[in-house]
């Protein structure tokens, strides 16, 4: 397959690349009716693919947590992703999605029926224009209620209904609480706030993913001497924060510019974190020769 010139993308299925969005599920596929699907998402932009290895490793771990039997190792998926990226123009901005899912089983997935798909398609990196958010009436489930430590598709209908509620109120997204009533994250991105010269983020408690970009931002800020505190955060603290921002793989870093009725501005910690991340990402430059 030569260079991809359309926006349909490519998918690796059963040992070969295919263009477009191949139809691979039937009505009796276990993943179709019992949601035995895990995935991950990595990025390629500006000729870099930051933390590609960690995203592939998390997909393998998510599959194991859901009772699937990964059919490819993380290193193999990473090499395959690099091969797929090479089929696009060098200046493309891409989203890279590995999937594992079960073909067979009844209620429980049959591990031996696990299949693998890798999808890569064009998806421009959103500009850092900021977003608005409100408090959601929905909460993240606890680890004994759902497979919260996996990046599992079955978790996302709850995310979707939270975003729909926020959109209906005129907001881009929402802040979701954990089962104890503390801040968990934004609907689909991790949350940071700054107050009095320190950066704070909700401590990992098993109700939301410890995002790869989240981990990277914490490390980068601490490396330059910023005090980053992981702890329980109440929603009222966000309303009194000096700045609030989000991290996630799809958009990387975005400032919150309105929280409930309070207008906010991007702040110095957000700008510092974004610069640190973009500088770090150059370490993952791909050789396109």
* Residue 172 sits in the same domain as residue 245: yes
Residue 53 sits in a domain of what CATH number?
A: 3.30.470.10
The per-residue pLDDT for 5 is: 41
The per-residue pLDDT for 145 is: 95
The per-residue pLDDT for 8 is: 83
The SS3 call for residue 265 is coil
How far is the CA of 126 from the CAs of 101, 200, 232, 251, in angstroms? 29, 24, 29, 6
Domain of 139 in residue numbering reads as: 131-281
* pTM, to two decimals: 0.94
Altogether, the residues listed in the chain come to a count of 289
Q: How far apart are CA 53 and CA 192, in angstroms?
A: 24
- Of 188, 254, 172, 266, the residue nearest 217 (C-alpha): 254
- Buried-state track 59-87, b at ≥16 Cβ within 10 A, e below 16: bbbbbeebbbebebebeebbebbbebbeb
The per-residue pLDDT for 3 is: 56
Over the chain (289 residues), the average pLDDT of each successive run of 10 is 64 94 94 97 96 98 98 97 95 96 97 98 95 98 96 97 98 98 98 98 97 98 98 98 97 98 97 98 83
* Residue 70 sits in the same domain as residue 171: no
The per-residue pLDDT for 144 is: 95
Tell which of 122, 140, 158 closes a domain: 122
Residue 136 sits in a domain of what CATH number?
A: 3.20.10.10
Tell which of 101, 122, 143 closes a domain: 122
Cβ atoms 83, 37 nearer than 8 A:
no
DSSP bridge pairs for 86:
none
Longest dimension (CA), the chain: 55
* Residue 139 sits in the same domain as residue 264: yes
Tell which of 89, 122, 155 closes a domain: 122
Query: Does any domain span residue 89?
Result: yes
Cβ atoms 142, 207 nearer than 8 A:
yes
- Of 127, 256, 261, the residue nearest 186 (C-alpha): 256
Q: How far apart are CA 252 and CA 10, in angstroms?
A: 23
How far is the CA of 137 from the CAs of 84, 133, 163, 185, 187, in angstroms? 40, 13, 11, 13, 11
Tokens representing 67? 């009772």
Query: Does any domain span residue 5?
Result: no
């Amino acid at each position: 397959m030569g260079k991809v010139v359309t926006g349909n993308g490519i998918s690796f299925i059963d040992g070969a690349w295919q263009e477009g969005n191949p139809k691979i599920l039937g009505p009796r596929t276990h993943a179709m009716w019992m949601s035995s699907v895990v995935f991950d998402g990595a990025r390629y932009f500006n000729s870099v693919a930051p933390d590609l290895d960690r995203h592939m490793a998390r997909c393998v771990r998510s599959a194991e947590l859901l009772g699937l039997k990964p059919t490819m190792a993380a290193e193999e998926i990473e090499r395959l992703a690099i091969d797929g990226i090479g089929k696009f123009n060098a200046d493309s901005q891409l989203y890279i999605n590995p999937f594992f899912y079960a073909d067979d089983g009844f209620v429980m997935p049959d591990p031996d029926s696990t299949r693998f798909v890798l999808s890569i398609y064009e998806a421009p990196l959103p500009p850092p224009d900021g977003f608005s958010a409100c408090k959601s009436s929905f909460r993240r489930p606890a680890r004994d209620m759902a497979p919260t430590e996996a990046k599992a598709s079955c978790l996302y209908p709850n995310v979707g209904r939270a975003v729909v509620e926020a959109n209906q109120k005129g907001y881009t997204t929402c802040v979701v609480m954990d089962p104890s009533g503390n801040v968990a994250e934004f609907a689909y991105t991790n949350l940071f706030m700054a107050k009095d010269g320190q950066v704070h983020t909700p401590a990992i408690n098993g109700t939301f993913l410890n995002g790869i970009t989240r981990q990277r931002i914490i490390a980068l800020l601490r490396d330059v001497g910023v005090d980053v505190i992981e702890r329980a955060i109440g929603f009222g603290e966000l309303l009194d924060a000096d700045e609030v921002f989000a991290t996630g793989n799809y958009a990387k870093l975005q400032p919150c510019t309105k929280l409930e009725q309070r207008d906010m501005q991007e702040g110095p910690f957000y700008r510092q974190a974004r610069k640190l991340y973009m500088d770090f990402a150059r370490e993952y430059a791909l050789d396109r020769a």
